[in-house]
């Protein structure tokens, strides 16, 4: 296991750094206050799909230009084959690429379409589906959202009840999805629906995986406002929505198995590790300023130094877990329960790091943004991270579910 870069990888890293420095559009100012930044590959709350749909024409044009610059090198979807707009990069190089983009504080492009839907189509899609959907996604021209969860189906995903009934060469879909990240910015949705009606069959049978044009008649999308007053996700209602049978991925009734592959492509902490690194570096730099140093005064300290040292070690561990995952991928191994180890560790670290940061600011940690007379330290970044972190132990599968997976599939312990 190589924990650092080889010479070739170090050269590649330098070339990415140069590219980001030279190719990032000067006029593009990602919105740092959009508060849409729940996805792991977002840095400082930036969110490219929200910028793409921004009412600010310069920002929207900047988001398009950044996508075009990356797409010219196949770097929006670097792991995909070149014929679909990718760059055929190894998992390690793709990781280095994203690491450098994020380290430079620039937004990644088209996360869900690239990391979840694309690999799913490469394995399960028809030739027509791949040709239709992969190239525009790799150019940043087609944004995807994942419609799996429903009001009564989250951890218990097999309990979903959005129904699709076949009529000729179409499915007619009725039901509701919820917590769909960035669904209100999406062009297309990948959704799970129930097609089977045999009450005696196991619940995970009879589920089908569909690709749905988000502008189809009968779809209503309502953004959901979260604790920060932002709307990073939405609920989606389907009323007699007609979806061509040609948009089905895999066999009818076998969508559960397709979806399990989709979930295994979640990169399990690969993006968050950079986000944490950023946050901790900023925090340490702040504590070395005159204002920050006051917080380390013995009256405030209460073990803050050792707490920050612990966070530093944990961020290093999270980085090594990510490197280990990509090295395994390059060795042709499929992530199993290790993906849950990474996801669980990074989700809980997210919350610990946010708490440490908020503590380090003392009473200033209560400031959301502040004003000219009393600016919030680091523009309130850690207060925001704290709120952002609430969802961390839910969004990619809850901590309890990850522990169940590690215990049963990883350690071979009996189910509860």
Residue numbers annotated as active site: 266
Looking at the Cβ atoms of 149 and 195, the one nearer to ligand FAD is 149
Q: Which span (23-31, 211-219, 293-301, 394-402) binds ligand FAD, by CB under 6 A?
A: 394-402
State the greatest distance between any 2 C-alpha atoms of the chain, in Å, as a whole number: 74
Looking at the Cβ atoms of 180 and 342, the one nearer to ligand FAD is 180
Q: Does 146 bind ligand FAD (CB under 6 A)?
A: yes
Angle (nearest 5°) at CA 398 between 393 and 404:
130
Q: Which span (216-224, 240-248, 367-375, 397-405) binds ligand FAD, by CB under 6 A?
A: 397-405
**What is the closest distance, in whole angstroms, from the C-beta atom of residue 399 to ligand FAD in the complex?**
6
Measured over the CA atoms of residue 29, residue 386, residue 321 and residue 413, the dihedral's sign is negative
Q: Does 325 bind ligand FAD (CB under 6 A)?
A: no
Bridge partners for 243 per DSSP: 171
What does the per-residue mask of binding to ligand FAD show for 151-180, with x meaning CB under 6 A? ---xxx----------------------xx
What does the per-residue mask of binding to ligand FAD show for 25-64, with x meaning CB under 6 A? -------------x--------------------------
Q: Does 387 bind ligand FAD (CB under 6 A)?
A: no
Query: What does the DSSP 8-state code read for residue 416?
Result: -
Q: Which span (47-55, 81-89, 160-168, 392-400) binds ligand FAD, by CB under 6 A?
A: 392-400
Q: Which span (98-106, 143-151, 351-359, 379-387) binds ligand FAD, by CB under 6 A?
A: 143-151
Looking at the Cβ atoms of 61 and 263, the one nearer to ligand FAD is 263
Among 254, 349, 391, 405, binds ligand FAD (CB under 6 A): 391
Distance in Å from the first CA to the final CA of the chain: 35
With contact defined as beta carbons under 8 Å apart, do 382 and 358 qualify? Answer: yes
With contact defined as beta carbons under 8 Å apart, do 134 and 259 qualify? Answer: no
**What is the closest distance, in whole angstroms, from the C-beta atom of residue 49 to ligand FAD in the complex?**
12
- Burial pattern 215-252, b for ≥16 Cβ within 10 A else e, equals eeeebebebeebebebbbbbbbbbeebebeeebbbbeb
Bridge partners for 208 per DSSP: 193
Q: Does 397 bind ligand FAD (CB under 6 A)?
A: yes
Cα–Cα distance between 337 and 171 in angstroms, integer?
A: 35
Residue 347, token pair as written in the block: 């989700």
**What is the closest distance, in whole angstroms, from the C-beta atom of residue 379 to ligand FAD in the complex?**
22
Q: How far is CA 365 from CA 13, 106, 236, 354, 380, in A?
A: 36, 26, 35, 10, 7
Among 148, 361, 382, 386, binds ligand FAD (CB under 6 A): 148
Cα–Cα distance between 166 and 164 in angstroms, integer?
A: 7
Helix (H) or strand (E) holding 281: helix 272-287
With CB under 6 A as the rule, give the number of residues binding ligand FAD. 20
Q: Does 394 bind ligand FAD (CB under 6 A)?
A: yes
In sequence order, what E strands does 148-200 have?
A: 163-167, 170-181, 188-194
With contact defined as beta carbons under 8 Å apart, do 188 and 142 qualify? Answer: yes
Residue facing ligand FAD at closest CB distance: 154
Q: What is the contact surface with ligand FAD in residues (CB under 6 A)?
A: 38, 146-149, 154-156, 179-181, 233, 391, 394-395, 397-398, 400-401, 404
């Amino acid at each position: 296991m190589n924990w650092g870069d080889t010479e070739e990888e170090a050269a590649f890293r330098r070339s990415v750094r140069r590219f980001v420095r030279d190719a990032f559009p000067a006029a593009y100012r990602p919105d740092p206050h959009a508060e849409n930044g729940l996805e792991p590959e977002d840095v400082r709350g930036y969110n490219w799909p929200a910028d793409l749909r921004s009412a600010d024409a310069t920002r929207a044009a900047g988001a398009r230009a950044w996508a075009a610059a990356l797409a010219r090198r196949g770097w929006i979807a670097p792991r995909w084959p070149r014929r679909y707009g990718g760059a055929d990069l190894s998992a390690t190089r793709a990781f280095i690429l994203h690491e450098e983009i994020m380290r430079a504080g620039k937004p990644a492009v088209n996360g869900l379409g690239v990391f979840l839907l694309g690999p799913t189509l490469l394995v399960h899609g028809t030739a027509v589906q791949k040709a239709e959907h992969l190239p525009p996604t790799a150019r940043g021209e087609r944004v995807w959202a994942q419609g799996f969860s429903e009001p009564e189906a989250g951890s218990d995903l097999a309990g979903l009840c959005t129904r699709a009934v076949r009529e000729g060469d179409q499915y007619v879909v009725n039901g509701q999805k919820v917590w769909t990240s960035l669904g209100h910015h999406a062009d297309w949705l990948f959704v799970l629906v129930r097609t089977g009606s045999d009450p005696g069959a196991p619940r995970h049978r009879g589920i089908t995986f569909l690709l749905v044009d988000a502008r189809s008649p009968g779809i209503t999308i309502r953004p959901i406002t979260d604790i920060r007053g932002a709307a990073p996700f939405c609920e989606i209602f389907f009323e007699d929505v007609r979806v061509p049978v040609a948009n089905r991925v895999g066999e009818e009734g076998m969508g559960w198995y397709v979806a399990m592959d989709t979930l295994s492509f979640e990169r399990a902490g690969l993006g968050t590790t950079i986000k944490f690194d950023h946050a901790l570096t900023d925090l340490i730099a702040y504590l070395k300023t005159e204002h920050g140093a006051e917080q380390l005064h013995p009256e405030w300290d209460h073990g803050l130094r050792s707490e920050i040292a612990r966070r530093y070690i944990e961020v290093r561990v999270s980085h090594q877990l990510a490197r280990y995952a990509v090295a395994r991928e390059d060795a042709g191994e499929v992530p199993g329960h290790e993906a849950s180890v990474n996801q669980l560790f990074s989700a809980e670290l997210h919350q610990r790091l946010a708490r440490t940061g908020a503590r380090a600011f003392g009473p200033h940690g209560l400031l959301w943004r502040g004003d000219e007379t009393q600016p919030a330290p680091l523009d309130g970044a850690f207060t925001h991270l704290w709120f952002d972190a609430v969802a961390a132990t839910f969004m990619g599968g809850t901590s309890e579910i990850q522990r169940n997976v590690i215990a049963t599939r990883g350690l071979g312990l009996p189910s509860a």
